[in-house]
Amino acid sequence: MDKEMKEAVIKVLYRAMQAETDGHLFYQMAAEKTEDPQGKEVFESLAKDELDHLHFLKAQHKSITESGEPDKNLKVGKPSGDQIETPVFSEEFKSRVAQAHNEMSALSIGVHLELAQIDFYKNQAKEATDPTVKTFLGELAEWESTHYRRLIRQQEELKEDYWFKGGFYPF
């Protein structure tokens, strides 16, 4: 990897590490704020995923700064497909959705965070010329897509009740 490419990849890694740190801290905060045990568990799981991604990115950063090449042996891994099917919140949560402002905001903010990361990783993967970098950025985009689909599915499922019961319904 030449010096210019190395600097470009390191810049991408810095941006990705900051976003993964932000995501980790956000999901930790969401886990602390929710009163729903299932929501707490899901937000903690999302926080762990973001922390795992951060550790992966730090390891790649170390490899690139020390050797000039990404570590081909490091793996991001693949998300499990069942994550999307499992709701973020319990069935009981629906009965108190009108007062669940923190949780509904957490879903909304999470959706925006994940969407921004998906776009970032996909765009950077398209621009990457190193095959290892291209692959791991694509895998990270896939992870964030799984998070996004889970959050947006739950948000869409709860939105009508939240608006109606909370008096926010636009009609």
- 83, pLDDT greater than 70: no
Q: What per-residue confidence (pLDDT) applies to 78?
A: 74
Which homologous superfamily is 3-166 in? Ferritin, core subunit, four-helix bundle (1.20.1260.10)
Taking residues 47-76, what's their average pLDDT? 95
Confidence of residue 8 (pLDDT cuts 50, 70, 90): very high
Looking at the predicted structure, is the pLDDT value of residue 170 above 70?
no
Q: For residues 146 and 21, what is the distance between their CA atoms, to the nearest angstrom?
A: 18
Answer yes or no: is pLDDT of 160 > 70: yes
Residues 6+ apart with CB under 8 A from 45: none
pLDDT above 70: residue 82:
no
What distance in Å separates the CA atoms of residue 62 and residue 16, rounded to the nearest whole number? 14
The Cα 154–Cα 171 span in angstroms is 22
| CA nearest to 113, candidates 72, 84, 150, 61 | 150
Q: Which two tokens stand for residue 99?
A: 């007062």
Integer Cα distance of 154 and 137 in angstroms: 26
Interval 9-37: pLDDT, tens: 999 999 999 999 999 999 999 999 999 99
Q: Looking at residue 166, what is its pLDDT?
A: 66
What confidence tens digit (pLDDT) does each residue in 87-112 have?
888 888 888 887 888 999 999 999 99
Confidence of residue 157 (pLDDT cuts 50, 70, 90): confident
95 compared with 130, residue with greater pLDDT: 130
Residue extents of the structural domains in the chain = 3-166
